[in-house]
Structure 1
Amino acid sequence: MPNQSDEAPELPKNLFSLKKLKHRLLMVGRLLFLVGILIAFHAKAQPDTLRLSEFKEHRMLFEKATFTTTPLREKRQIPSLFFTNQFSNWQRLTPQSPTYADQIHWLHFRVHNDTDTAQTIYINVHSANQIVVFHVAYNGQISTLRSGYMTPSSKWALPEDDRYIPLIFPKGATFDLLAQLSNYAGILPFWTGAQSPKPSFRLQLEKESFYLKKTLREYRQNRPEFQYRSWIQGALALAVLFVGLLYLKYCQRIYAYYWAYILCGFLFSLLKTRAYTPIGQSLGEWPLLKNHLMESLLWWGIGAYLLFMTELLNLTKTHPLMQRWFRRLALLLAGYGFVYITVMLLTNDGGFQQFSFWGGRFIALPIYVFTLIWMSRSVRSPMVPYVIWANSMLGLFGILAWLRAGEVILKGIKLPANMDDLLTLSFAVVAEIIVLSLALAHRYRLLEKEKTESQLAYYEELQNKSFYEKRMAETEMLALRSQMNPHFLFNSLNSLEYLILSNDEHKATGYLAKFSKLLRMILNHSREESILLEEELTALRYYLDIEATRLGEGFTYSIEVADSVDTQRLIIPPLLLQPFVENAIWHGLMPSDKLPKNLRIGVRLADAHRIEFEIEDNGIGRKKAAELRSRSSVKRKSYGMDITQQRIALFNRNYPNQLSIEINDLKREKETGTLVKIVYNLSDEPTNET
């Protein structure tokens, strides 16, 4: 075994074999042992030798050990001082011997195995002791074993338990033991001066059979608690995962605050895990953080919970004053949590720990009750009953768990079905989460209902808006078509006047007959939103015949309809082509001196959902027509084209079928003219192809 080791290995069985020790080490060891005996002989109190045959199962060290104390922060070389005279004031250990939070307590005792066999003894160092270090001397060798709940789990003498130190006593062996009991010394000294918590002298030696029976009994007693704690941790872990996914999906603050609250509860439950579990051993590597983080998690969790309440109750709108109060209180609790963990990690001050545990709760409890009453009376929200129920459950179980942890109630008492094992803050959080989950579900249902109602109202508004817009568009289209009628009448009457003044009665009579038929068709079409292409072409022929009568034999026209176009099924807006034909005659052909004056109207099927109309003339072209209008003293504005453009814009805005127009000057050798191409997109409306 290595000398002066800082680790805590179990004493090997061949440790005490004199055959494996070198002669020089044996002589030095005996000399040091004799010196130690002489020093102990001259001390004020000497420990008695505890013989293993004197007790059957277990016994305390009272009346068999001596003790002394040194300042906690005093540095000593251990274990070399085991055999020096640096210790003084040794006293007999009794049940009334005092302990101090700011002192190191040294216990000196001897154990002799006077039985016929090797014995394994387990020293129960008591659960109240933070740091326990045993220096074991035998045959000049010293080994160091550690335990206590502030000792990292990797240094425990017994890997699965921080309360026991095992020792193997060969037959006839006598061990000289020096125990060091103290609280963990932080980086900074205690600042409250409170003597809490105090180490305990109630160290108990237990024989192996008693230890095994006791451990088995404890495991059986703790099994229900372990099962309860396991499903509580599982429920909290599932809630953390589920709410975290909700936040990632919706990115709403209410889920962030709720997730932070559940996370604090989950971590709190993990830190309460027993040391013999894998999780407990892993967390035991950081004992200072494990023991003090729980209090900070408590205050952080309450702070996150208050922020969650502001969102659940929508306090920004329902009660701004309470919302500000909750936010300030949440920030205060979060800050206090950071202050607490910082102070405890630096000082490990038990006085401040006790103040926070009792004082903080006595201060928080009245504020908690006041807030609940204020909320129930002032906030108007369907979530308030859920909040009251959730907090009532949290308060009930939390207070019971608090009193049980402080050993005010149920000390050493087991309720039927191990119900007392449920009296933990983690279970209180789970009970509250169940109610709050119902509240979130109710809130979600209300939001969905509100959203649905809002969508229905919006849909109805859109329908009404669409209906009125359509009616307005129809009215506007009707007004535009009505404007077309007097415009066309004006031009036609001008032509009739020209024929009458020319004394051409035959032409005037024919013109008047065709004009009356055309006027009847236009009046009928003006009341319709759409007409058949055949009706549009018939009206167009009447109009062109009238214009041909006025223009004379120098004017010719043709209407070419492809065989693939079914004029008796294809539907178009009324008076679609007539304004462009009229514009071609008045502004393109009439100012032209060339003969003949030709006008061609073509209709063809471009594809299954597209019809193309072409209006082509060999007139003077747009550029020349614009020059003539600019030089003319009589400004004749083309109202028909303006009205047509407005009609097309309205049609495209209110109907799925779309119209587009392209006007180009023809560039041919020694010829001018204009080509108007109208593309009519039929959307999903079918057309017939032969």
Structure 2
Amino acid sequence: MTRYLLWGGMMLMVLTSWAVPDTLYLGQLNGHQTLFQKATYTFTPIRRHVNATNLDSLRALPDWKILEKSLNTQPQQAYWVHFVIHNDTDLPRVVYVYTSSVNQSVRFSVFRGDSCQILQSGTMTPTSQWATSENDTYIPLPIGANQTIRVFGRISHQTGILPFLTDFKTPKPSLNLQIESEDYYQKRVLREYRSNMPEFQYRSWIQGALALAMLFVGLLYVKYRQPIYAYYWVYIVCSFVFSLLKTRAYTPLGHSLGEWPLLKNHLMETLLWWGIGAYLFFMIELLDLKKTNPHIRTWFRRLAVLLWGYGAVYLTVMLLTNDGGLQKLSFWGGRFVAFPLYLFTLIWIRRSVKSPMVPYIILANAVLGFFGMLAWLRAGEVILKGVKLPANLDDLLTLSFAVVAEIIVLSLAIAHRVRLLEKEKTQSQLAYFEELQNKSFYEKRMAETEMLALRSQMNPHFLFNSLNSLEYLIMSNDEKKASSYLAKFSKLLRMILNHSREESISLEEELTALRYYLDIEAMRLGDDFEYQIEVQRNVDVESLIIPPLLLQPFVENAIWHGLMPSHLSSKKLAIRIRSKDDKKVEFEIEDNGIGRKKASELRNRSTVKRKSYGMDITQQRIDLFNRNYPNQLTIEVFDLQKEGQTGTLVRIIYQIDN
């Protein structure tokens, strides 16, 4: 009797630990049916390894129970579901198992007789491993006519590389599995595609707008190389990549990005903080806080670096742990901390910063804050849960759309800033040009004054020499020559005084004064002296304008230092004027005097040291003229040696810049 009681107790324990699921018959499937009360379940530690291809190993899992709707799952457990499906029809059928959109890892072991097939789905499963290419929430189960399949499914959270770093509390696996017929599945997928089409169109438009803005701002940075465009470009890039990561998985782009589900899922939060950090640097440049408020600039910079660092640390931790609790804490906690700080910053900018960019900043952030708050509340299912606004406007309530709306306003701000900078640059250029004009005017006036002073020095110098000649004639008792000399001297003196007030005179006036001077000197030197002035026919002496007293100092120097000390019986002076082309005139003054070397020796031996001020003054005038006027003067002096006789040739090249 005792033996039978022990045997009965053992059988009761086995029946209690191995609950057998009811068989689902496809002939009785009317569209869809949940697995509650039809399947059994158990759970194991999430990191416990179980051979999912061995039927006996799966059956040996302990504590199989009937799947109840009221089951409360735990995120650190792996749940096993067991159900049996029999195709009681004469045609092969395909049924689909809806595995819920919250499950990260779903792995089915499908047994058909002695064979086993592994099928996967879940939000953390790469797209190339999906059981169906449409999405990550369905697993198709093809069943032949009058065939029975046994399915063991493992549903769990996707653990990270180092799960012990954190103690995640969410997400909880969902065992709300549903069997759907092929017709029901296709109608449901089509219905989802249709309902998501407006969102897909809006998202494509937003991504296109962000891509265009990213390209435009990138080109601005390449052209101007200013930090403001670099920071703004980084901000737009973060927003653009964020919008790409939100792309639906059934699109080609979403399917490609789904190959890295862990990175795709956690990079979005990191991009949010990185984008805000870049935005703070952008505001520093836009508001020119370096000049207006350096202390707030330092605070902004530190906060931006902190956000960049937090984004990098968050991404690293999440890739290592995939802690859903930490993800949720960052999503809600970060926003609760950031929003008051964000609001305070806007109020401070409005009150403290004096810049024409402030209204744009306030408007842009008001737009971003309004739509961003709506998108945040909608994503957290606080508002508009299961609600469709007219024209599917609720599909626009995304952070990406909020950024696009803000970028439109900030683009206007940048355009206004560029216009202000161009206006400021133009005003600076005008002021600089006016300053240059004033400087040029004063320099010209100074040069004219200096030229006038030099010419004023020439007048006493010439007057001194002329009076010496007059004194010589008077002492010689040559009254007739003295009277003629005095008459010509007065005319010459009047002309020199008139020329001293002019910046330039005609060549004809210069030659007239020169002839008076040569006539005076000829009277003093006597019959031994002769001169000639040769003017080439193509030289228009009336219209050619030259500086006053250009030739006279060289002629005077030739007479006093070259001809007067000479013992030749014939003292000759030749003045030649010829035109090389329309822009070049040459003046030559040639004498047959003692030459420069002999004249220098005589001056050195003379007991009376008589300095030639005339040539020094003339050289200063020429240097000053060349520095302040477009026309240029060049002086060349040659020593002559002809048939045993010496002499000097002075060539003045006058370059005319019309």
With the shorter chain as reference, the TM-score category is over 0.9
Q: What are the superposed Cα offsets for residues 410-450 of structure 1, whole Å, 9 maximum, x if unpaired? A: 11111111111111000110111111111112212222222
**Is contact 2:52-2:58 (8 Å) kept?**
no
Deviation (angstroms), 1:280: 0.5
- Report the counterpart of residue 486 of structure 1 in structure 2: 460
Equivalent residues in 2 for 1:187-336, closer than 5 Å: 187-336=161-310
- Report the counterpart of residue 130 of structure 1 in structure 2: 104
User: Which has the larger displacement, 241-250 or 504-513?
Assistant: 504-513
Unpaired runs of 5+ in structure 1? 1-38, 685-690
Equivalent residues in 2 for 1:535-546, closer than 5 Å: 535-546=509-520
**Is contact 2:51-2:57 (8 Å) kept?**
no
Q: Matched residue of 1:673: which SS?
A: strand
Equivalent residues in 2 for 1:271-670, closer than 5 Å: 271-668=245-642, 670=644
Matched, 1:94 2:68: yes
For the residues of structure 2 that align with 1:502 and 1:86, how far apart are their CA atoms? 152
Deviation (angstroms), 1:595: 4.3
Question: CA 1:74–1:600 in 2, change beyond 3 Å: closer, same or farther?
Answer: farther
**Is contact 2:50-2:57 (8 Å) kept?**
no
Deviation (angstroms), 1:667: 4.9
Question: CA 1:508–1:118 in 2, change beyond 3 Å: closer, same or farther?
Answer: same
- Report the counterpart of residue 146 of structure 2 in structure 1: 172
For the residues of structure 2 that align with 1:98 and 1:628, how far apart are their CA atoms? 126
Unpaired runs of 5+ in structure 2? 1-12
For the residues of structure 2 that align with 1:234 and 1:626, how far apart are their CA atoms? 88
Q: In percent, how many aligned pairs have the same letter?
A: 69
Q: Matched residue of 2:162: which SS?
A: coil
Q: What are the superposed Cα offsets for residues 25-77 of structure 1, whole Å, 9 maximum, x if unpaired? A: xxxxxxxxxxxxxx998952222211112221111111112222222223344
For the residues of structure 1 that align with 2:384 and 2:408, how far apart are their CA atoms? 26
**Is contact 2:17-2:65 (8 Å) kept?**
no
For the residues of structure 1 that align with 2:127 and 2:643, how far apart are their CA atoms? 103
For 2:655, the aligned partner's letter is N
- Report the counterpart of residue 3 of structure 2 in structure 1: none
Q: What is the RMSD computed on CA atoms of the aligned residues?
A: 1.9
- From 159, 163, 167, give the equivalent of 2:137: 163
**Is contact 1:376-1:388 (8 Å) kept?**
yes
Question: CA 1:141–1:42 in 2, change beyond 3 Å: closer, same or farther?
Answer: farther
For the residues of structure 2 that align with 1:97 and 1:595, how far apart are their CA atoms? 141
Deviation (angstroms), 1:597: 2.6
**Is contact 1:67-1:108 (8 Å) kept?**
yes
Question: CA 1:85–1:176 in 2, change beyond 3 Å: closer, same or farther?
Answer: closer
Q: Matched residue of 1:56: which SS?
A: coil
For 2:159, the aligned partner's letter is A
**Is contact 1:190-1:349 (8 Å) kept?**
no
For 1:422, the aligned partner's letter is L
For 2:307, the aligned partner's letter is L
Deviation (angstroms), 1:571: 0.9
Deviation (angstroms), 1:85: 5.4
**Is contact 2:50-2:58 (8 Å) kept?**
no
Q: What are the superposed Cα offsets for residues 641-686 of structure 1, whole Å, 9 maximum, x if unpaired? A: 22222222222222222222222333555333322221111112xx
For 1:394, the aligned partner's letter is L
For the residues of structure 2 that align with 1:581 and 1:73, how far apart are their CA atoms? 113
For 1:549, the aligned partner's letter is M
For the residues of structure 2 that align with 1:95 and 1:606, how far apart are their CA atoms? 113
For 1:90, the aligned partner's letter is W
- Report the counterpart of residue 36 of structure 1 in structure 2: none
For the residues of structure 2 that align with 1:296 and 1:649, how far apart are their CA atoms? 70
- Report the counterpart of residue 24 of structure 1 in structure 2: none
For the residues of structure 2 that align with 1:66 and 1:671, how far apart are their CA atoms? 136
Q: What are the superposed Cα offsets for residues 124-148 of structure 1, whole Å, 9 maximum, x if unpaired? A: 2211111111111112111111211
**Is contact 1:160-1:281 (8 Å) kept?**
no
**Is contact 1:157-1:165 (8 Å) kept?**
yes
**Is contact 1:528-1:574 (8 Å) kept?**
yes
For 2:101, the aligned partner's letter is S
For the residues of structure 2 that align with 1:70 and 1:305, how far apart are their CA atoms? 47
Equivalent residues in 2 for 1:32-47, closer than 5 Å: 43-47=17-21
Q: Matched residue of 2:165: which SS?
A: coil
**Is contact 1:663-1:675 (8 Å) kept?**
yes
Question: CA 1:672–1:94 in 2, change beyond 3 Å: closer, same or farther?
Answer: farther
Deviation (angstroms), 1:113: 0.8
Q: What are the superposed Cα offsets for residues 582-611 of structure 1, whole Å, 9 maximum, x if unpaired? A: 122222222333443322222111122111
Q: Matched residue of 2:79: which SS?
A: strand
For 1:110, the aligned partner's letter is V
For 1:598, the aligned partner's letter is K
- Report the counterpart of residue 45 of structure 2 in structure 1: 71
Question: CA 1:551–1:40 in 2, change beyond 3 Å: closer, same or farther?
Answer: farther
Deviation (angstroms), 1:638: 2.0
For 2:471, the aligned partner's letter is E
For 1:519, the aligned partner's letter is L
User: Which has the larger displacement, 448-457 or 295-304?
Assistant: 448-457
For the residues of structure 1 that align with 2:508 and 2:27, how far apart are their CA atoms? 126
User: Which has the larger displacement, 503-512 or 373-382?
Assistant: 503-512
